[in-house]
């Protein structure tokens, strides 16, 4: 019994030690994340690393995205080109975040920095739209919004799509 | 052969099995923890995907859990506090099994995240692997014979 008691105490010490190392590592590591993430779907896109500046550009509702669509904002599909080919928001342009380097020069020629964009991917669990918005921000684009609910919500509302899968 | 000699052979066999178990289980956890330490962001999303922990606990778990795996795994490999390390690992494995079985029961097949964001879906295969690690883990915990190649010879 005495032996098992010592085992239990050492187990606790191992866990406490690991917690300490983990917190110190996380504070100094380039991969560190905040101690609290944004995991509430009602608030917006779920992410371990919420930032105030990116929160402002998120469109929380399909209606808000639809309004911008009617106003003629350019919709960017940040997913793989194959996903775009299957189905995308009507009129959207494919700009896969995975091909950013090859696509960007043509993109830059076609769209001036103040062009209004709405970027989307496949919902609140994907991050392609956020990564693309971040990359375009760094290239000097100023009017970027991220449509948080993405294409599934758009389809669910019966709004127009196009692609191989049909209307 | 006398029964004493047979007994001596078996004692050595058990000690060898215990040592190999420590290396294998420890190595697996060292590797699994290391993968997650390098990508806490991805691991946090996987924990969220399990749909078990409340939002406030997701990030902190993604930060701490890989280090528990790594430290307990590393301690097993070098033989420091082997029983305690395998106790921690067996506890983690039980917790993983409950989480995975719970999700299978309600029809979730999310990326298991066992070795970081591998894209490997969780399923019964994952549970079987957990059991395959749990058995040697429990053996190391309960073993009271001579442990070979341990930095800390006390056992506990």
- The ipTM is 0.93
CA B127 to the chain's CA centroid = 12
How close A122 gets to chain B, by Cα (Å)? 16
Which among A19, A28, A48, A121 is the top mutation candidate for probing chain B, defined by the most B β-carbons within 10 Å of its own β-carbon?
Answer: A48
Q: Residue B131: inside a domain, yes or no?
A: yes
Please tell me which of the candidates A11, A25, A36 has its beta carbon nearest to residue B56: A36
What integer pLDDT is reported at residue A41 of this predicted model? 72
Q: Chain A contacts of B59, Cβ < 8 Å? A: 33-37, 48
What integer pLDDT is reported at residue B152 of this predicted model? 87
The 3-state secondary structure of A56-119, one letter per residue: CCEECCHHHHHHHHHCCCEEEECCCHHHHHHCEECCCEECCHHHHHHHHHHHHHHCCCCCCEEE
Supply angle C-alpha B118, B124, B126, rounded to 5: 35
Q: Chain B contacts of A46, Cβ < 8 Å? A: 45, 48
Q: How many CA atoms lie within 13 A of B103 on its CB side?
A: 24
Inter-chain touch B88–A6, beta carbons under 8 Å: no
Extract the residue ranges of chain B whose pLDDT is less than 70: 1, 109, 117-119
What integer pLDDT is reported at residue B119 of this predicted model? 65
Please tell me which of the candidates A19, A31, A39 has its beta carbon nearest to residue B55: A39
Inter-chain touch A14–B75, beta carbons under 8 Å: yes
Which among A6, A33, A128 is the top mutation candidate for probing chain B, defined by the most B β-carbons within 10 Å of its own β-carbon?
Answer: A33
H and E: helices and strands count for chain B: 5, 0
B88: nearest CA in chain A? A11
Domain of residue B45 covers: 11-142
Please tell me which of the candidates A11, A22, A40 has its beta carbon nearest to residue B64: A22
Please tell me which of the candidates A14, A32, A46 has its beta carbon nearest to residue B84: A14
What integer pLDDT is reported at residue B94 of this predicted model? 96
Q: Does B79 touch chain A (CB under 8 A)?
A: no
Q: Chain B contacts of A37, Cβ < 8 Å? A: 44, 48, 55, 58-59
Please tell me which of the candidates B39, B59, B156 has its beta carbon nearest to residue A37: B59
Are residues A157 and A83 in contact, defined by beta-carbon separation less than 8 angstroms? Answer: no
Q: Residue B150: inside a domain, yes or no?
A: no
In this structure, the number of other CB atoms found within 10 A of the CB of residue A94 comes to 17
CA A156 to the chain's CA centroid = 20
Comparing C-alpha atoms, which of B128, B120, B119 is closest to residue B101?
B128
Sign of the dihedral defined by the CA atoms of residues B51, B53, B58, B62, in that order: negative
A45: nearest CA in chain B? B45
A28 sits in which H/E element: helix A2-28
Q: Domain spans of chain A?
A: 1-32, 52-162
CATH superfamily of A52-162: Rhodanese-like domain (3.40.250.10)
Q: Is A13 helix (H, G, I), strand (E, B) or coil?
A: helix
Extract the residue ranges of chain A whose pLDDT is less than 70: 42-45, 51-54, 166-167
For the question of whether the overall pTM of this predicted structure is more than 0.90, the answer is no
A26: nearest CA in chain B? B63
Name residues whose C-beta falls within 8 Å of residue B118's C-beta, 6 or more positions apart in sequence: B111, B112
Q: How many domains would you assign to chain B?
A: 1
Torsion angle of C-alpha atoms A6, A8, A10, A15, degrees rounded to 10: -170
What integer pLDDT is reported at residue B154 of this predicted model? 83
Which among A1, A9, A11 is the top mutation candidate for probing chain B, defined by the most B β-carbons within 10 Å of its own β-carbon?
Answer: A11
């Amino acid at each position: 019994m005495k032996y098992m008691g010592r085992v239990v105490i050492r187990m606790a010490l191992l866990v406490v030690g690991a917690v300490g190392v983990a917190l110190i590592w996380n504070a100094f590591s380039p991969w560190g994340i905040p101690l609290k993430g944004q995991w509430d779907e009602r608030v917006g896109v779920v992410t371990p690393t919420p930032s105030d500046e990116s929160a402002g550009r998120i469109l929380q509702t399909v209606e808000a995205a639809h309004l911008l669509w009617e106003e003629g904002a350019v919709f960017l599909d940040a997913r793989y080109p194959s996903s775009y080919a299957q189905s995308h928001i009507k009129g959207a342009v494919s700009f896969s975040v995975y091909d950013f380097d090859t696509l960007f020069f043509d993109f830059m020629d076609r769209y001036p920095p103040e062009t209004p964009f709405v970027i989307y991917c496949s919902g609140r669990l994907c991050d392609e739209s956020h990564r693309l918005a971040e990359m375009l921000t760094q290239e000097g684009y100023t009017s970027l919004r991220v449509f948080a609910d993405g294409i599934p919500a758009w389809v669910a509302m019966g709004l127009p799509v196009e692609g191989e899968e049909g209307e | 052969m006398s029964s004493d000699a047979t007994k001596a052979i078996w004692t050595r066999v058990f000690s060898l099995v215990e040592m190999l178990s420590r290396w294998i289980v420890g190595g697996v956890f060292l590797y699994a923890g290391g993968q997650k330490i390098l990508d806490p962001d991805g691991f946090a999303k996987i924990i969220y995907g399990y749909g078990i922990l409340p939002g406030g606990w997701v990030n902190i778990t993604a930060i701490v859990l890989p280090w528990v795996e790594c430290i307990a795994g590393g301690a097993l490999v070098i033989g420091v506090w082997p029983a305690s390390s395998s106790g921690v690992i067996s506890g983690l494995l039980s917790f993983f099994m409950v989480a995975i079985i719970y999700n299978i029961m309600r029809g979730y097949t999310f990326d298991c995240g066992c070795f970081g964001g591998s894209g490997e879906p969780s399923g019964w295969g994952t549970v079987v692997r957990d059991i395959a690690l749990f058995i040697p883990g429990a053996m190391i915990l309960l073993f009271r014979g001579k442990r070979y190649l341990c930095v800390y010879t006390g056992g506990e």
